[in-house]
Amino acid sequence: MPESSVAEAAAPARPPVRLGDIAYEKLKESLIRGTYRPGHKLTVRAAADALGVSSTPARDAINRLVLEGALVYTGPKTVIVPHLDSQILEEITLIRLALEGLAAERAGSEGTQTIVAELEAIQALIDAALDEARYADALWHNKEFHFFIYRLAGLPHLLGMIEPLWLRIGASFNDLYPEFALAKYGVHNHRAAIEAIGERDGSSLRAAIESDIRDGFRQLKRAKTADHQP
Amino acid sequence: MPESSVAEAAAPARPPVRLGDIAYEKLKESLIRGTYRPGHKLTVRAAADALGVSSTPARDAINRLVLEGALVYTGPKTVIVPHLDSQILEEITLIRLALEGLAAERAGSEGTQTIVAELEAIQALIDAALDEARYADALWHNKEFHFFIYRLAGLPHLLGMIEPLWLRIGASFNDLYPEFALAKYGVHNHRAAIEAIGERDGSSLRAAIESDIRDGFRQLKRAKTADHQP
DNA sequence: CTGTGATTTTTGTTGCAACATAATGAAGCG
DNA sequence: CGCTTCATTATGTTGCAACAAAAATCACAG
């Protein structure tokens, strides 16, 4: 996945590979994949053991995740995977609309033929994953689809602010109903997005992305309210 | 200041007071106050000595600041106070317009008489500080003015995303020309903002805030280009 | 069976030493 | 005189043990 160019644009000098970074990435992955259910308690020592590192990098990783909101304190010595609070979900969605809308609008004017082709390739992966009921993969490619567009905006700091938002909803997202989260609403908006990019129409692209975000929000909210104690 | 309700809505449980937090706050303060000029190199051990703590909390604080973009890596073992890169400034401004615009719009409908009075009190502090050439204070109260409004939106996570943006530009901001940064443009936009809040007009409030941000951006950019080697 | 208090266990934080590695400066070469 | 190479210094990261504090557990009274 050649996303290094963007990363370099964001940070001209690359930080060294720290063990704590690896721990962070692994934990993040686990969170996105839904390995830990909401409410699960995280401990430094357990994470350290699980990741095969000492407590220092594990602590770094957990603290970073807490800072990003992917984990929350419930007590001075307790961090858990947060529950999907509907109020927070609404706020995140609001922020996503503002930030990802901005990124989409900016990305709109960067459309080329190759970019359209790449997006269609990703969309094909989503469709295939959906057809074959590999919902986790579909979710993953969905994320790729969005971030591929956002990267076009050429605003690396903006990108760096959007990513934690996905992590935040992703943790609870994957836990609840991954099997139908993406199936119904994604396709149409993505088609519209690809079309808008082909026409280099930033406004339409923004509209498509915002529509996608809103539809996802409704889906999530419905799943959430339907889930009052599993 | 009864803002605890908002803080609790954001984080129901308070993390314990860690030494690293204190170190972070102190460093942040130094950064905002312009104690370290852009380009200054930060080291863990030096910070630890300066703050009277061991290396672990100092490292935590520096890493956190790096994560927020208030410090940057220039090499695997070198973190410095970032220079005010005009490209980054533009991107930050773009993000600020989106995020602070959203907060302002939301805050608009929350206007009351007491709120107008409070804002006018803060504005009076700004004016007084300006008159008496206490520019650092003026800058500080300016920040209070903005965040008082943003808090009204009742979106604590949004607030948490806006703050690091101020820290980021603040570091270089205070370093360059603090003496005339605020004097010329702030008053008019703030007046408009207060008026909009009084009328509970979210759109106008957003416009006033956006105008303020844009004016500040121009001011900053001019100072930056005028400053090619001090 | 429930609520309460003490006891035990668990846990985060901190300080510190060891290690690997990058920055720095000096010397040598073109 | 400028550039490269190498040795020295300085620095970030890591692992770990000690400590204080919170959470979990359990016993016991009502």
Q: What is the pLDDT of residues B105-124, one digit of tens each?
A: 999 999 999 999 999 999 99
Q: Does A5 touch chain B (CB under 8 A)?
A: no
Average pLDDT over residues B2-23: 57
Among B51, B80, B109, residue at a domain's last position:
B80
Q: Do B98 and B73 reside in the same domain of the chain?
A: no
pLDDT of residue A169: 85
Is B128 found in the same domain as B36? no
CA of A79 to C1' of C2 (A): 29
Least confident of A71-85, A142-156, A187-201: A71-85
Instruction: Give strand D nucleotides closer than 7 A to any protein Cβ.
Output: 10-17, 21-24
**CA A219 to CA A189: how far, in whole Å?**
14
Mean pLDDT, residues B206-218: 94
Return all residues near A12 (Cβ < 8 A) that are at least 6 apart.
B74
CATH (domain of B110)? 1.20.120.530
Report pLDDT for B3: 30
The C-alpha torsion from B9 through B10 and B14 to B17, rounded to 10°, is -140
Q: Give the CA-to-C1' distance from B78 to C23 in angstroms.
A: 8
Kindly give, in sequence order, each residue whose CB lies less than 8 Å from that of residue B144, ignoring residues fewer than 6 positions away.
B122, B125
| pLDDT for position B175 | 62
- From B80, B109, B139, the end of a domain falls on B80
Q: Is the pLDDT of residue A12 over 80?
A: no
Which of A167-181, B5-19, B44-58 tops mean pLDDT? B44-58
Range of the domain at A213: 86-226
* One-letter amino acid for residue B213 of the chain: I
Average pLDDT value for residue range A101-120: 96
CA B85 to each of CA B33, B173, B221, B226: distance values in angstroms, whole numbers, following the listed order: 19, 12, 10, 13
Footprint of strand D on the protein (CB under 7 A): A 15-16, 18-21, 41, 53-57, 60, 75-78; B 16, 42-46, 55-56, 59, 62-63, 77, 79
- For chain A, what is the domain count? 2
Residues A114 and A163 in one domain: yes
- Are A110 and A186 contained in the same domain? yes
Q: Which two tokens stand for residue A114?
A: 């190759």
CATH number of the domain residue A42 falls in: 1.10.10.10
- With respect to residue B5, please indicate whether it lies within any of the assigned structural domains: no
Whether residues A34 and A48 fall in one domain: yes
| Chain B, window 183-202: residues with a beta carbon less than 8 angstroms from a chain A beta carbon | none
- The whole-number average pLDDT for the span A56-77 is 93
Name the closest nucleotide to B48, judged by C1' and CA: C15
Cβ distance A102 to B102 less than 8 Å, yes or no, reads no
- Residues of A (86-125) whose Cβ lies below 8 Å from B: 87-88, 91-92, 94-95, 98-99, 101-102
Residues A62 and A160 in one domain: no
| B92 and B205 both lie in a single domain | yes
Residue A77 burial (CB count, 10 A): 11
CA–CA dist A137, A118 (Å, integer): 17
| Closest alpha carbon to B79 in B96, B95, B64 | B64
Looking at A132-227, list the stretches that DSSP marks H as alpha helix, in order from N- to C-terminal side.
135-152, 156-175, 178-181, 186-198, 202-226
Domain co-membership, B34 together with B112: no
For residues B66 and B94, membership in a common domain is answered with no
Host H or E run for residue B10: helix B4-10
Residues B94 and B206 in one domain: yes
- Inform me whether the pLDDT recorded for B200 exceeds 80: yes
Residue A70: band (very low, low, confident or very high) from pLDDT cuts 50, 70, 90? very high
Query: B140 with B55, same domain?
Result: no
Residue B17 lies in a domain: yes
Q: Are residues B50 and B95 located together in one domain of the fold?
A: no
DSSP conformational letter for B41:
E
Contacts of B164 (CB under 8 A, 6+ apart): B68, B69, B70
Distances (CA, A) of B16 to A73, A74, A119, B145: 10, 11, 46, 29
* Kind plus residue range of the DSSP H or E element containing A75: strand A72-75
